[in-house]
Amino acid sequence: MALHGKVALVTGSTSGIGLGIARVLASHGAAIALNGFGDAGEIETLRRKLGDEFGVRVTYDGADLSRVSEVEALVRNTQNEHGGLDILVNNAGIQFTADIADFPAERWDAVIAINLSSVFHAMRVAIPGMKAKGWGRIINIASAHGLTASAQKSAYVAAKHAVVGLTKVAALELANAGVTANAICPGWVLTPLVERQLHDRARSKNTGFDVEKRDLVAEKQPMHEFTTPEQVGALAAFLCSDDARTITGAPLSIDGGWLAH
Ligand code: NAD
């Protein structure tokens, strides 16, 4: 229970990678603040089960991270409800795919707001409390697309590259404050975000979900295997450990060799 007594806010943790990270941090004893969208009843069941399973306090806040005021309130509410915030995992993200010439301006704004600006605003509000305590962990979920590009993903690739840069700035500013800032860069993880892309591909190519599932991974990753949300969670938990206290400013790939190309 290495994280007993620590409080972790995981944005976008009602599904996918965020939920996997929340589960692993809870299994190490951290109190958890969940955030994200979904059915209210299902989220309440999720909140209760997570707390019961690991014996930790779990709260939920449905803040919409496309709005600056809600990002600020999410961090402040977590600090107030839990008596502080030690671990900030900026995970919430959306995807939209189209060629640049066809990319709707409002989709660009939404991807940048949620995938990039919310990371900045959450760090801006959380950092003073971490510095005051002399301990903190900031973990930004970037992507392989924070280090390399794919066509039709202009907003996502721009946001994720910027998250990697922003993480490095935070690491420099916090280097001697007991606070580390790192970016995790996953390859393919089979979550609702990727399942939507697989259904779109199957529809446009007139193939099937399973064919696209195989081809999608093989196109980018030398290793033809999806990473699981729990594996990303395990890396996040390691970054919270004392052994990882000198790892900062690093983009950490967990991507089946994608970036080895
Ligand atoms: P997902 O769609 O399963 O989960 C996204 C989460 O973000 C959900 O909880 C959703 O409710 C929440 N969310 C979306 N918009 C929000 C908003 N405006 N305010 C608050 N919450 C919001 O997606 P995922 O695949 O688990 O992605 C999580 C993160 O991991 C994203 O940042 C994504 O870019 C990144 N990522 C995913 C993959 C992958 O292959 N799945 C790979 C690399 C990086």
| Proportion of the chain above pLDDT 90, given as a percent | 99
Q: How confident is the model at residue 1 (pLDDT cuts 50, 70, 90)?
A: low
pLDDT at residue number 169: 99
Nearest to 33 by CA among 45, 53, 51, 16: 51
pLDDT tens figures, 188-217: 999 998 999 999 999 999 999 999 999 999
pTM for the whole structure: 0.98
Enter the CATH code of domain 7-189+228-260. Answer: 3.40.50.720
The number of the ligand 1 atom at minimal distance from the alpha carbon of 113 is 18
Task: Quote the pLDDT of residue 16.
Answer: 97
Q: What is the mean pLDDT of residues 44-54?
A: 98
pLDDT tens per residue across span 160-182? 999 999 999 999 999 999 999 99
Q: Which two tokens stand for residue 222?
A: 């030398």
Q: Is 91 in the pocket of ligand 1 (CB under 6 A)?
A: yes
Report the pLDDT value the prediction gives residue 52, as an integer from 0 to 100: 98
Contact 63, 84 (CB under 8 A): no
Secondary structure (3-state) at 108: helix
Integer Cα distance of 85 and 97 in angstroms: 34
* CA end-to-end distance (rounded Å), the chain: 38
Report pLDDT digits (tens) over 140-156.
999 999 999 999 999 99
Catalytic residue among 156, 188, 226, 258: 156
- Residues 45-57 have a mean pLDDT of 98
**CATH 3.40.50.720 domain position(s) in the chain:** 7-189+228-260
**Band (17; pLDDT cuts 50, 70, 90):** very high
Can you tell me the mean pLDDT for 221-249?
98
Does residue 156 have an active-site annotation? Answer: yes
Pocket test for ligand 1, best of 66, 67, 74, 91 (most atoms within 8 A of CB): 91
Q: Is 227 helix (H, G, I), strand (E, B) or coil?
A: strand
Q: Classify strands 58-61 and 136-141 as parallel, antiparallel or unpaired.
A: unpaired
